[in-house]
Structure 1
Amino acid sequence: MKQTDVRPSVRRRTALGAALLGGALSLTTGLGAVQAEARPAHHGATGYVALGDSYASAPAVPQQTDADCQRSSGNYPSLLAAAKHARLTDVSCAGATTAQLTAAQGTAPAQLDALTRGTRLVTLTIGGNDIGFSSDIATCAGLTAGDPAGSPCRTHFTTGGTDQLAQRIAQTGPKIAQALRGIRQRAPHARIAVVGYPDLFPEDGVGCTSAAVPFAAGDFAYLRDTEKKLNAMLRTEARRHGAVYVDTYAPSIGHDMCQPSGRRWIETLAPETPAAPAHPNAAGEQAMARAVGRALDRCGARRRRAGHCAYSAPHPARTAPAKPPAIRHLLDR
């Protein structure tokens, strides 16, 4: 069992974990105070456009290229673009919800403004902030001290018989659908890839309660299942709207925040390598780039029905590590 001793010392330290995540939330949503170091030009953009939130922008992952949106040159869109020599317009932005696809976010313009009829590839990582998942994680961390061996987070969000997080996911589905229609309208010739979220918590549900991962023993499985529901919704909407769904969860199993440093791709609430709390580090972004590359390569250049192109990446234990495949042909149609 991975769970550590949860005596009163852990009760005192869970407040630290919640505070760390709360600070990270302020960091990833306070976008208006700092001028961007580099802003991609929207006019005449062609090739590959990356849309999305902090799981695409990669806050704190070296090298940061945009202070407002906390965007890294080591994020998965940059790695994917480099692998296929694509012209990248990366407008992913930490803290973004589906609302920021069509409305400004601080000094950042609406993300869909980056699209043109010449765009050939679009990746979209969005939805987590629509359901408030980061703030929900902070809430869960704050509840641990009261019942570290139980499931206070699940109890909190399911009081009254309705799972509030599952309800929010269902309510976000139409927003994803609208986003995909907006992308198609602005970039009618583009291949669209909806990129899911990687595995944050142990797949077996066994926790690792500590100061750095301050969740109650019974809440790891609940949070894992919530993330799976979010990804399932994204997959469904991708299929319904002719987009490729990219499963980044399966290849990241065994690299969650409970794993030791060097093995984990998702950092704890007290990151040991450069990344935002509960976000992918550089290795995690590399894994996401591989997953997207494989998905697009598998689908090929021909436009197909979404049900034929939804892609689940192989489990890492069954495959050797691979570089993002060359899929330049998607841009040359």
Structure 2
Amino acid sequence: MRKTTSTQGPRRRAAAAVALSGCLALAVPAGTAHAADPVPTVFFGDSYTANFGIAPLNNMDQPRGLCFQATENYPAVATGRLADRNITLDVQEDVSCGGAVIEDFWREQQLPFGAGTVPAQQDALKEDTRLVVGSMGGNTYGFTSILKQCSARLRGDEGAILPGAPVDAESPADECADFFTSGDGKAWLDYKAEQVGHELDEMFQRMSHRAPDAERVLVGYPRLAPQDTAKCLKAAPGQTERPFVDISEDALSVLDQAQKRLDDVMKKVAADDGADFVDLYDHTGHNTACDGANRGIGGLLENSEVELLGQSIPWYAHPNEKGRDIQAQRVAAKIEAVFNR
């Protein structure tokens, strides 16, 4: 059963000193960081935690290298920001891995290209873990399938290494706006939103079982397309392709609505389970893939910083370094707020 805030809240509020095992002082002026013992921390998640597309990568001499985890991903940058505020995270492990679905939190994840598996992410949690942070849900929701449903180019060789297939390959890509707003496409989105909710709840329960005193922070996804989709009709500075290549304006509006729905589901489950949520969608409306020099998201087929077999890999709408820094800033602020409450 779902853990309710009526059970979770008193444990964190009335017994905060126990929950944090003496790591944090309780009487702290609002907004003031303070020195503390290192807090045992685990980062988990998918390609948005791993920061796919940013080089260099961790573990390149191991199968885990195919997780495409950046050495300077937002967990690493947020940890540095917090250290500057006298909050030290003792990172027990960062198990974020590109392509992870929510179920990979409790089962082995299959790596691409038949490269084997990585252990369930929950295995990194220990009895003394006091903080668990990461982004998860986008792959279970099927966001890459939504992109491929709306882009003929991503259905071809240009999207070959992007996980997932179109929801219905028989339905033309240029009809995806209608596909997702009625009939089978709408039913599919309804089902995926419900699935994300149930599986995130299971994930939170597993976190609490393995690390009963840990604060849990779920990090949402940055906004990909702006409210003004007309901005997406021109290439970013230095680029020749439009940010979303062949995806039409009306389809981008549907994609944005689908992303907002995912954000709302994540936010609700976190609240219901007594966890904290970092809402990036609501704070990145001016840093979308279509915001030119201010973009925090790399275009679908814009070359990222990473190469595979000598070929540049596209960003596939993942945060670039500017976007990574926005993630890190908001995550660090949320962790600081958790510690100071």
- Report percent identity of matched pairs: 29
Range that drifts further, 164-173 or 215-224: 164-173
Partner in structure 2 of residue 208 of structure 1: 232
Q: 2:43·2:134 contact (CA, 8 Å) conserved in 1?
A: yes
- Structure 2 CA distance for aligned equivalents of residues 202 and 227 of structure 1: 11
1:110 matched to 2:120? The reply is: yes
Partner in structure 1 of residue 176 of structure 2: 153
Give the superposition deviation at 1:282. Answer: 1.4
- Structure 1 CA distance for aligned equivalents of residues 213 and 206 of structure 2: 13
- Displacement over 6 Å in runs of 4+: none
TM-score by length of 1: 0.70
Partner in structure 2 of residue 35 of structure 1: none
- Structure 2 CA distance for aligned equivalents of residues 63 and 143 of structure 1: 28
Range that drifts further, 163-172 or 246-255: 163-172
Whichever residue aligns with residue 157 of structure 1, its letter is F
Q: 1:166·1:229 contact (CA, 8 Å) conserved in 2?
A: no
Q: After superposition, what is the alpha-carbon deviation per residue over 1:102-139, rounded to whole angstroms, capped at 9, x for unaligned?
A: 11113311000000111111112111100211122022
Give the superposition deviation at 1:164. Answer: 2.4
- Structure 1 CA distance for aligned equivalents of residues 179 and 231 of structure 2: 18
- Structure 1 CA distance for aligned equivalents of residues 129 and 302 of structure 2: 36
Where in structure 2 are the equivalents of 1:1-333 lying within 5 Å?
A: 47-66=40-59, 67-83=65-81, 84=83, 85-88=88-91, 89-106=93-110, 107-142=117-152, 152-160=175-183, 162-206=186-230, 208-209=232-233, 211-212=241-242, 213=244, 214-260=246-292, 262-274=293-305, 276-302=315-341
Q: RMSD of aligned C-alpha atoms?
A: 2.4
Task: Give the 3 Å change call, closer, same or farther, for CA 272–264 of structure 1 in structure 2.
Answer: farther
Whichever residue aligns with residue 50 of structure 2, its letter is S
- Structure 2 CA distance for aligned equivalents of residues 96 and 232 of structure 1: 20
Q: Structure 2 regions of 5+ residues with no counterpart? A: 1-38, 60-64, 111-116, 155-172, 235-240, 306-313
- Structure 1 CA distance for aligned equivalents of residues 255 and 187 of structure 2: 12
Whichever residue aligns with residue 125 of structure 2, its letter is L
- Structure 2 CA distance for aligned equivalents of residues 267 and 294 of structure 1: 24
- Structure 2 CA distance for aligned equivalents of residues 265 and 75 of structure 1: 14
- Structure 2 CA distance for aligned equivalents of residues 172 and 222 of structure 1: 19
Aligned length: 253
Whichever residue aligns with residue 105 of structure 1, its letter is Q
Task: Give the 3 Å change call, closer, same or farther, for CA 182–132 of structure 1 in structure 2.
Answer: same
Give the superposition deviation at 1:172. Answer: 1.5
Q: Structure 1 regions of 5+ residues with no counterpart? A: 1-45, 145-149, 303-333
User: SS at 1:208's partner residue?
Assistant: helix
